[in-house]
Structure 1
Amino acid sequence: MSFDPERVTTVTFDSYSTLVDVDAAEEALAERVEDPQPVSKLWRARSLEYTFVANQIDAYQPFYEMNRDALQYALDAHGADVSEDERDEILAVYHELDVFDDVRDGIERLRDGGYDPYVVSNGNPEMLESMVEHADIGDLLEDTISADEIETFKPDAEIYRHAAARTGTPIDEIAHVTAGWFDVMGAQHAGMQGVWIDRKGSSWEPFDGEPALTIDSFYDLADELGV
């Protein structure tokens, strides 16, 4: 699939790793764990794996709870002596993650250019509310759309169809911007144009085709859309 800017009327954004930097959670771990990097990586990986499994076995719970369970597993797996209160303090960093530098100006360009921006996220509503407030982008977004509304996580096609219905946009007129490879694939499978934001110079996954567009900042997307 090649990117067709003429078809785009609405732009949706993932939240974590796309708008805000989840690597900042490692700093909270570093205050309580001797070697935070492997714990952080396992935490993030298990958090996503839990959502994939939950979709298949009908075991939905809000993402904040999934994330808590994943953190507990990562701590246990690395033998970290951390109390439940300390664990919850680490987890709470998800309410105040650092926003990437290009986010506000990039979304503002898109909005001023006539595109309606939404967030479509696995995060539950409370997480998204605090993320938007901390990132200071509430005035730029039309709305946030949570997996919690249908109790189904990405990359299930249902969440993208739900997002299209909530935005009132034909699904093939939506460009979905995300740092998650599985999210790109889910969006494209459902009928959106998948835009992969690759800020780290990563390799693309070698199966099921390419993203419609790969960018390294929101400014690139604004340029592609001519705004």
Structure 2
Amino acid sequence: MFLTQLKQLTVFNKALFSLVLLLTLTFSGGTMAASQIQAKPKVIVFDVNETLLDLEQMQSSVANALDGNTQLLPLWFSTMLHHSLVSTVSNDYHDFADIGVAALMMVASNNQISLTKEQAKQTIVPPLLSLPAHSDVKPALAQLKQDYKLVSFTNSSNNGVKAQFQHAGLTDYFTHRYSVEDIKVYKPDLRAYKWLLEQLNVAPHEALMVAAHGWDVAGAKEAGMQTAFIARPGKALYPLAKQPDYIVKNLEELALLLTQK
């Protein structure tokens, strides 16, 4: 009888401790689920476009090509992502920038706008290679670099992300840049994350994928990685996917959480 009561009390105390820990984490800045409290990762993996780099300046470029319609930028970006997956599942790889040009031509055509391939290329490529970093990025990376190995993983080409990082001043924050160009399988295909983990030589749970895209977070989570969703304006999680381990408003909030581990 006494042993039974003691066991019940121990279970209760453990549950109470878990609840207190969850509430502490929730109200200290970021959001974590009780079942998702993770160990400190060995490496943090960052998506690039929109996660680190601000695409807002693309609006004027795309708007000029699409008769001043600034509302078509999200449609262009989603069309580009859609057809990167078409490229993957049909085993017909094309450079991400080339897919972006093709997607812009599709959006223009569907809106009865005349646009040549060369015009589309000039609309997409130069602005994409000269994007600025979000204001929260450099302070957060500087803080995280003190305790973690930082790498990037993008659907953009190797040369593309190299140029982007040089322009945005992000090169020195990362130990390595990884691109799906080397495997020719676009995220969020699980093979892309598996390949990345092999390059990093870590187990899935030892890597944290950070992205402002619900689809990227969903893919990494299914691959067994820890995940962090950066809830930038206009970005939302996919409701049918597994919840990420962290949901934060910006990278500085995530850095605060991770440096407290």
1:181 partnered with 2:209: no
Q: Which amino acid aligns with 2:143?
A: R
Count of paired positions:
226
Give the secondary-structure state (helix, strand or coil) at the position aligned to 1:74.
helix
Query: Are the aligned partners of 2:157 and 2:180 in contact in 1 as well (CA < 8 Å)?
Result: yes
> What does 1:38-57 correspond to in 2, within 5 Å?
38-57=71-90
Answer whether contact 1:39 1:78 (CA < 8 A) is retained. Answer: no
Which of residues 66, 90, 101 is equivalent to 1:33?
66
TM-score, L = length of structure 1? 0.93
After superposition, where does 1:89-168 map in structure 2 within 5 Å?
89-92=122-125, 93-112=127-146, 114-168=147-201
Q: Kindly indicate whether the alpha-carbon contact (under 8 Å) linking 1:12 and 1:175 is maintained by their aligned counterparts in 2.
A: yes
Match of 2:101 in 1: 68
* Cα RMSD for the two superposed structures: 1.7
DSSP 3-state at the match of 1:204: coil
Are the structure 2 counterparts of residues 222 and 5 from structure 1 closer, same or farther at C-alpha, using a change threshold of 3 Å?
Answer: farther
Pick from 1, 20, 23 the counterpart of residue 56 of structure 2.
23
CA distance in 1, matches of 2:228, 2:198: 20
TM-score (norm 2): 0.81
d(CA) in 2 for partners of 1:95 and 1:41? 18
Compute the displacement of 1:3 (Å).
Answer: 4.2
Structure 1 residue runs of 5 or longer lacking an equivalent are: none
Paired position in structure 2 for 1:84: 117
- Which runs of 5 or more residues in structure 2 are unaligned? 1-32
Partner of residue 208, structure 1: 241
The one-letter code sitting in structure 2 at the alignment partner of 1:52 is: L
How far the C-alpha of 1:83 sits from its partner, in A, is 3.5
Work out the CA distance in 2 between the residues paired with 1:49 and 1:68.
13
Task: Go from structure 1 to structure 2 and tell me whether the alpha carbon gap of 1:32 and 1:72 turns closer, same or farther (over 3 Å shift).
Answer: closer
Distance 1:166 1:226, change over 3 A: same
- What SS class does the counterpart of residue 197 from structure 2 fall into? helix
Choose 25-34 or 206-215, whichever is displaced more.
Answer: 25-34
After TM superposition, give the deviation of residue 61 of structure 1 in Å. 1.0
Shift in alpha-carbon separation, 1:186–1:174, aligned structure 2, 3 A:
same
Structure number with the bigger relative contact order (C-alpha 8 A, sep ≥ 6) is 1
Q: Distance in 2 between matches of 1:201 and 1:33?
A: 21
Structure with bigger gyration radius: 2
CA distance in 2, matches of 1:123, 1:130: 11
- Please give the alpha-carbon distance, in whole angstroms, between the structure 2 residues aligned to 1:33 and 1:65: 18
Moved more, 145-154 or 69-78: 69-78
